[in-house]
């Protein structure tokens, strides 16, 4: 059995935003795509990573109590570039899945953009790694864990 790589488990062509996009647009994309992380690209180059938690962490306290219209206006006024994580850790498609999991744990991140020849080609998340773990354990059978 060969060691699994990021390529086998990543989400290909992930949703993304640019630094000039609003947090409102980012939040709308996250909700529509049912994702919690968006790579931030400038052209085709990765420049950051935006997590759903970053959106609320960078909003003024009390935002949660605003009327929906007021909250939407606030999110429209804040740019992704001012909130995103700069220079996020990333991996290549050929990175071993175990190594990607180690990087996530060491860096305390829940997602890694996947870069090939300086272009964003995917994203691997904790959820993807858990899915891989379950599938690989199923392939090995119960005997491996007794």
Burial classification of residue 142, based on how many CB atoms lie within 10 Å of its CB (0-12 exposed, 13-18 middle, 19 or more buried): exposed
- Residue spans of alpha helices (H) in the chain: 6-9, 23-33, 52-57, 68-77, 97-107, 126-140
CATH number of 6-145: 3.10.580.10
Q: What is the 3-state secondary structure (H, E, C) of 34-60?
A: CCCEEEEEECCEEEEEEEHHHHHHCCC
Per-residue pLDDT of the chain (146 residues; tens, 9 = 90+): 578 999 999 999 899 999 999 999 999 999 999 999 999 999 889 999 999 999 878 776 655 555 666 777 888 989 999 999 999 999 999 999 999 999 999 999 999 999 999 999 999 999 999 999 998 888 877 555 55
pTM, to two decimals: 0.86
């Amino acid at each position: 059995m060969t060691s699994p790589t990021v390529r086998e488990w990543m989400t290909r062509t992930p949703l993304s935003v640019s630094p000039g996009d609003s947090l409102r647009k980012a939040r709308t994309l996250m909700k529509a795509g049912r994702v919690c992380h968006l790579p931030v690209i400038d052209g085709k180059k990765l420049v950051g990573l935006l997590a759903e938690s970053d959106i609320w962490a960078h909003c003024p306290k009390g935002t949660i109590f605003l009327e929906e219209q007021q909250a939407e206006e606030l999110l429209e006024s804040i740019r992704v570039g001012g909130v995103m994580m700069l220079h996020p850790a990333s991996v290549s498609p050929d990175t071993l899945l175990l190594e990607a999991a180690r990087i996530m744990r060491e860096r305390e991140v829940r997602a890694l953009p996947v870069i090939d020849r300086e272009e964003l080609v995917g994203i691997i998340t904790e959820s993807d790694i858990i899915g891989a773990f379950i599938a690989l354990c199923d392939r090995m059978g119960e005997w491996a864990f007794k």
